[in-house]
Amino acid sequence: MKKVGVAILGMGVVGGGTYKILRDRKQAIAEEYGVDAEVVAMLDKVPERLDAVGADRALLAPSIDAIAANKDVDIVVECMGGLEPAKTFLLKCLKAGKSIVTSNKEMFSKSWTELEAAAAETGAGLYYEATTGGGMPIIRVMTAAMQANKILEIKTIINGTTNYILTRMAKEGADYKDVLKDAQALGYAEANPEADVEGFDSSYKLSILASLAFNKRVPADMIYREGITHITAEDMRIADELGYVIKLLAIAKNRSGGKIEARVHPVFLPKSHPLANVNDSFNGVFVVGDAVGDVMLYGRGAGELPTGSAIVSDVIYCARNAEHARYSEMNDIVNKKDIVADFESEYYLRMNVHDVSGVLADVANVFKKHKVSIARMRQDEGNDVITVIFITHMTHEAAMKESVEEISRLDNVISVENVIRVEK
Amino acid sequence: MKKVGVAILGMGVVGGGTYKILRDRKQAIAEEYGVDAEVVAMLDKVPERLDAVGADRALLAPSIDAIAANKDVDIVVECMGGLEPAKTFLLKCLKAGKSIVTSNKEMFSKSWTELEAAAAETGAGLYYEATTGGGMPIIRVMTAAMQANKILEIKTIINGTTNYILTRMAKEGADYKDVLKDAQALGYAEANPEADVEGFDSSYKLSILASLAFNKRVPADMIYREGITHITAEDMRIADELGYVIKLLAIAKNRSGGKIEARVHPVFLPKSHPLANVNDSFNGVFVVGDAVGDVMLYGRGAGELPTGSAIVSDVIYCARNAEHARYSEMNDIVNKKDIVADFESEYYLRMNVHDVSGVLADVANVFKKHKVSIARMRQDEGNDVITVIFITHMTHEAAMKESVEEISRLDNVISVENVIRVEK
């Protein structure tokens, strides 16, 4: 039996869930995995949080230095969130030879290289399943089940808040703002929802997945990012009628010649796609390996026990690992010019035009000029103002942007209301 | 860098795929995982199979004894299939201290206890990701990503042949027999399709998953089993109209008091269920853990490279593992009386009746007598013979069987054409 001392930094929702699982499943984990994991220290500015999960206040450490110096601590679990002091705390622990398990996506995605270097110096382990997809074990699947593969592509619904909002918009025909308000009231969205709805959170997680997949760092700020705030009830209704759902996807592709695509934006996704049924606050990820083909994973992207489950899995995995994996490649950062900006996609366009003869011909001529080929077109009867919908074939992003700009300037086009990419 | 010598038993489709991946990804695996894996021996009665994948005939071993005695062999990969001589060969290798990676579901599901005991004696590893779900890494997810959880439930589409047949029936409105013939011509189904279409293959795989989930052996012959041969084009059409797809599911549930459910049968599955979009020869599995909640996996259930990917993953995982996991609990075999036979389900019933007054009342009275409550009923206009469809609320299996028997004997009921369980 391997004895392992665990310290938990941050006794909020996730830290509390981790504590509960380690306490309640202690014997089962020992019997099934030969790991006797004991929480021996905790760090939190609010001692009452220990009481809330029934933890002994005697376990409260006076400082991070006390934890780094504590010989009984083998693994430090970080559930603090935020960039600092989390990063400084973890560097201290790594330098003291403690292995790290973290759920802090923003900090980890921004500091991976530094943490990796510190871990390599002392031979400590660095585990981060809980940063990405909560209880959906995508990190373990990529590192311990797809080792035989070159990863070609990742498509993922990786933010629970936006997926919850989009699911409710689709089900209720409601508008973005109304659902957001409700989601905030229910605790599914933050008072300041920007990190979620503008795609920042997805871009941190995609940064981690893409870096792992392509063996070089893909920083979040190099990832194209577009949020969901411009999605309307009307787009939802049209998507449904045409056989699609609207989802916020994070996409990374391994292209030839060392080029990669990395982008976060809403898409029209066919209802038959395996990710199309990933609803509410669930996460889903679709990975393509050159040998295994398509693999998909689905699970709860957040929450006390799902994220706690990922953390405890990392603790056991770390404890059983004789030699921790090292990603020395993390020192290589992808070159900005190797990130494909002019990627190809299909597009959905919704525009309002005056009901006069010739307007469609004008629009079609702009598409023709930019070599944009139309797959589907729809125009319903209307009064003065009519709505026209296009879905294009594969088109370069630049050609689409130029087309939209020119179409917007046409005499009888009132407005291009929305442009959303379409995934196959 | 850890050097690992690999022997492959059986150079057919899967053995060949494994060889190709180990050869073509050798350097990448060494760089990314620190494992230098080299195929140093092969065993096959047909030497031409080595030529087919470009392997050197000098690697052909004269016998299993030569492989067991070969000091350069650390890991033996078994892709022979069949019960014997595979089992005897693997026992020899385990006794010689070689670790085993196998893709042989029937042999493994029937011989796990014996293999485990032999492995424990010498401290060798026993890896079997490829037995269950091909390239879908369900074994790794259960053992290395869900360790924090008590597994409550498994629902899985785990047989590619039947899923291919059911998918084509659904898409084409075709009958079972016609699609089977075509599947046989295309190589998706065997000339004798019994192992697949009668659910035996699914029961072997469910035996492995349930044993792992519940920490005691659930032998395949204790699993309730029903195949897909009775599914008709009409059931498919009705399912579609009512919002369902028909899938062959393997289901295992951890019930209170040490009781378990383990069963393989077709079901009506709502189109919104994450498994409903698992089509063609893909596999999918839905696992519920007490902490993590719902996790789903999806991937190619078979094939040269997908299964090869699972095997190579096991080889790397085995090579990096300092201490191999032991399932001593595998000595406990579940007691037959602890397998719940009278499980509860919802049911779909399709019956033909004469269009005379009173027949529905007669049927309804039988349901009432057995406390079967009806959730939906449908009867279309017809001539003499009309089709009536019922979907029940949750009902005990026994109550349903008795109801069906009595209904079949009613005067104006011509026949109960089909009874299919309905999953939520």
CB A108 within 8 A of CB A208: yes
Tokens of B92: 């020899």
CB B141 within 8 A of CB A137: yes
Share of chain B above pLDDT 90, in %: 89
d(CA A48, CA A175): 40
Tokens of B366: 């039988």
Nearest to A293 among B300, B317, B322 (CB): B300
From the CA of B307, how many Å to the nearest CA of chain A? 7
Question: What's chain B look like in SS3?
Answer: CEEEEEEEECCCHHHHHHHHHHHHCHHHHHHHHCEEEEEEEEECCCCHHHHHCCCCHHHECCCHHHHHHCCCCCEEEECCCCCCCHHHHHHHHHHCCCEEEECCHHHHHHHHHHHHHHHHHHCCCEECHHHCCCCCCHHHHHHHCCCCCCEEEEEEECCHHHHHHHHHHHHHCCCHHHHHHHHHHCCCCCCCCHHHHCCHHHHHHHHHHHHHHHCCECCHHHCEECCCCCCCHHHHHHHHHHCEEEEEEEEEEECHHHCEEEEEEEEEEECCCHHHHCCCCEEEEEEEECCCEEEEEEEECCCHHHHHHHHHHHHHHHHHCCCCCCCHHHHCECCHHHECCCCEEEEEEEEEEECCCCHHHHHHHHHHHCCCCEEEEEECCCCCEEEEEEEECCEEHHHHHHHHHHHHCCCCEEEEEEEEEECC
Residue B414 is predicted with a pLDDT of: 96
Given the residues B87, B205, B216, B253, the one annotated as active site: B205
Neighbouring C-alpha atoms within 13 Å toward the C-beta of B395: 29
Query: Residue A360: which H helix or E strand, with range?
Result: helix A359-369
Average pLDDT for consecutive 10-residue bins of chain A (424 residues)? Answer: 96 97 96 94 97 96 98 98 97 98 96 93 96 96 96 97 97 96 93 96 97 92 97 97 97 93 97 91 96 96 94 96 72 86 95 91 96 93 89 97 97 96 94
Q: Please say if A205 is a catalytic residue.
A: yes
d(CA B288, CA B151): 6
Q: Do B309 and A292 touch (CB under 8 A)?
A: yes
| Chosen from B275, B280, B292 to mutate, greatest number of chain A CBs within 10 A | B292
Work out the pLDDT band at B22, boundaries 50, 70, 90: very high
Nearest to B277 among A146, A274, A292 (CB): A274
On the question of a cis peptide bond just before residue A85, with omega within 30 degrees of 0, the verdict is yes
On the question of a cis peptide bond just before residue A306, with omega within 30 degrees of 0, the verdict is no
Task: Sort residue A366 into left (φ over 0), alpha (ψ -120 to 50) or beta.
Answer: alpha
ipTM (interface pTM): 0.92
d(CA A358, CA A379): 14
Residue B329 is predicted with a pLDDT of: 54
- φ/ψ of B202, rounded to 5, equals -60, -35
- φ/ψ of A7, rounded to 5, equals -115, 140
Nearest to A297 among B289, B296, B317 (CB): B296
Query: pTM for this one?
Result: 0.94
Determine the average pLDDT of the residues in B394-408. 97
Q: Do B313 and A141 touch (CB under 8 A)?
A: no
Q: Do B292 and A300 touch (CB under 8 A)?
A: yes
Residue A383 is predicted with a pLDDT of: 80
Q: Beta B344-354 vs B395-396: how paired, if at all?
A: antiparallel
Given the residues A92, A98, A105, A205, the one annotated as active site: A205
Question: pLDDT tens digits for B204-224?
Answer: 999 999 999 998 899 999 999
CB B361 within 8 A of CB B388: no
Nearest to A289 among B129, B309, B321 (CB): B309
Q: Which residues contact A180 (CB under 8 A, 6 or more apart)?
A: A165, A189, A193, A197
Determine the average pLDDT of the residues in B339-366. 94
Kindly list the residues from chain A whose CB atom is less than 8 angstroms away from the CB atom of residue B309.
146, 148-149, 289, 291-292
Q: Which residues contact A319 (CB under 8 A, 6 or more apart)?
A: A2, A4, A35, A37, A74, A75
Neighbouring C-alpha atoms within 13 Å toward the C-beta of A87: 15
Q: Do A146 and B313 touch (CB under 8 A)?
A: yes
Residue A372 is predicted with a pLDDT of: 97
Residue A274 is predicted with a pLDDT of: 86
Q: Do A308 and B146 touch (CB under 8 A)?
A: no
Kindly list the residues from chain A whose CB atom is less than 8 angstroms away from the CB atom of residue B33.
147, 325
Residue A330 is predicted with a pLDDT of: 60
Q: DSSP assignment, residue A335?
A: P
Tokens of A147: 């080792």
Q: Do A146 and B309 touch (CB under 8 A)?
A: yes
d(CA A293, CA B308): 11
Work out the pLDDT band at B357, boundaries 50, 70, 90: confident
End-to-end Cα separation, chain A, in angstroms: 50
Tell me the H-state helices in A34-175.
48-52, 64-69, 86-95, 105-122, 138-144, 160-172
CB B163 within 8 A of CB B284: no
C-alpha distances out from residue B309 to A144, B19, B20, B103, B201, Å: 11, 10, 10, 11, 21
d(CA B29, CA B8): 18
Q: Is the pLDDT of residue B300 over 70?
A: yes
Share of chain B above pLDDT 70, in %: 99
d(CA A202, CA A284): 12
| Chosen from B19, B22, B309, B327 to mutate, greatest number of chain A CBs within 10 A | B309
d(CA A236, CA A180): 15
Amino acid at B186: L
Q: Which residues contact A393 (CB under 8 A, 6 or more apart)?
A: A346, A372, A373, A374, A375
Q: Is the pLDDT of residue B200 over 60?
A: yes
